Structure 1
């Protein structure tokens, strides 16, 4: 039985997350850069740039997943089927060719994000789960719409946008299971506060990356 099975829905951690991050979520989803990209108003190089920034972020996050794989709390959130680095590298190879590592660079906001991510996600399960939740549940939610829109706008059919494709995963079912895991975490109210604070920081850092991309391409 879940450790929080008797809590009413509004008191569950997953419900609190939705409430407390609503404004940040809307700000990220409302990025002018993503809107322009989804509408095909930017050159393909802008999409390739977004893909490159994702590579830096997921390299940091998925290295932390290796560190946290044996942690008694965090290991439940290490889903091998969610790993994005192989898909991102395939996308970058398609977009830039075999020399893609020499053709990408982290934006200033991406470097800041990666620094925070490495510190938080490697030091404590709260930090790891906060950044894991922010990235992957976003990919399984709004990221699915974005991926389809980008594929239409830039004429991609698998190759070049594999980052958005989760083979063998039903997004709604996985998100439901993920939220059940969150609600079962044996955290105090203080630890939950710390977790929500780190999720909000991850949103802020992500928005800063999108702002850097917007300034470069729009």
Structure 2
């Protein structure tokens, strides 16, 4: 029996999604203001987040519920390692440290893994569906803004096993169907939706910490001009079909 978890997640996180889109960082990003100096810091934080999430998902791959959402073709850790080597050089591991907000985010993933692993579904859904949706648009913006080489700099948003837009649409449909057939009661469904909203908050806090770096690059006046206007979020103004192309968490980001 279908739980309609995909609809519950999409509808239940619209406002949180809009809050992320209205961060100063995302407003600048969507206008093509992307510099290696702060983009690489974002990737470093994401590396710590995905490393924790994917370690937990792998640990629970045989769990009766979490295991149904185990799709290793989505995993981002290795691709992020490629990006970090590109932006920081081969010594990247010694150069990156998680931001304060990133540490909070990673600690939450570990806490969920230790206490209620079903909530990892909220973390995986929010991140990976963002990567496959709005993350693809962000990839194009980043490549253009930083004039990147054709084979470097955006591995984070490249899915070698799901390469084409058609394949991504088909995979997202498969993922939604898997969500809907999870054997969950109403109480757990609501907990997963609540956790997904918290994931958006954790993500928002991570990118908020990068605002000073953006302002340092473009100046306070331009920063204020770009970021002062609130906008209706893509998922709030979109129909159900249009929402599939949302600017999601990654950029979700």
Q: TM-score, length-normalised on structure 2?
A: 0.79
- The corresponding residue for 1:129 is 121
**For residues 121 and 133 of structure 1, what CA distance do their matches in structure 2 show?**
15
Which of the residues 157, 161, 171 maps onto 1:168? 161
1:71 matched to which residue of 2?
A: 63
How far did residue 38 of structure 1 move? 4.3
Cα offset, 1:210, TM superposition: 1.1
With 104-113 and 164-173 compared, the bigger mean Cα shift is at 164-173
Unpaired runs of at least 5, structure 2? 216-253
Pick from 198, 202, 212: which aligns with 2:209?
212
Distance 1:123 1:100 in 2: 32
Deviation of 1:37 after TM superposition, in Å, equals: 3.1
Match of 1:25 in 2: 17
**CA distance, structure 2, for counterparts of residue 55 and residue 168 of structure 1:** 20
Structure 2 residue 86 is the aligned partner of structure 1 residue 60: no
CA distance in 2, matches of 1:16, 1:173: 20
Distance 1:81 1:122, change over 3 A: farther
Matched pairs, number: 210
Q: 1:41 Cα shift?
A: 2.7
Tell me: CA distance 1:148–1:42, structure 2 relative to 1, closer, same or farther (3 Å).
Answer: closer
Matched, 1:34 2:31: no
1:8-39 CA-partner distances (Å, limit 9, x unpaired): xxx72211211110011122233321332344
The RMSD of aligned alpha carbons is: 1.5
Residues in 1 aligned to 2:68 and 2:207: alpha-carbon distance in whole angstroms: 30
The C-alpha deviation readout for 1:122-177, integer Å capped at 9, x for no partner, is 43332111111111111111111111110111112231111111113122111111
Worse overlay, 139-148 or 121-130: 121-130
> Corresponding residue for 1:158?
151
Match of 1:179 among 176, 181, 187: 176
TM score, norm. by length of structure 1: 0.91
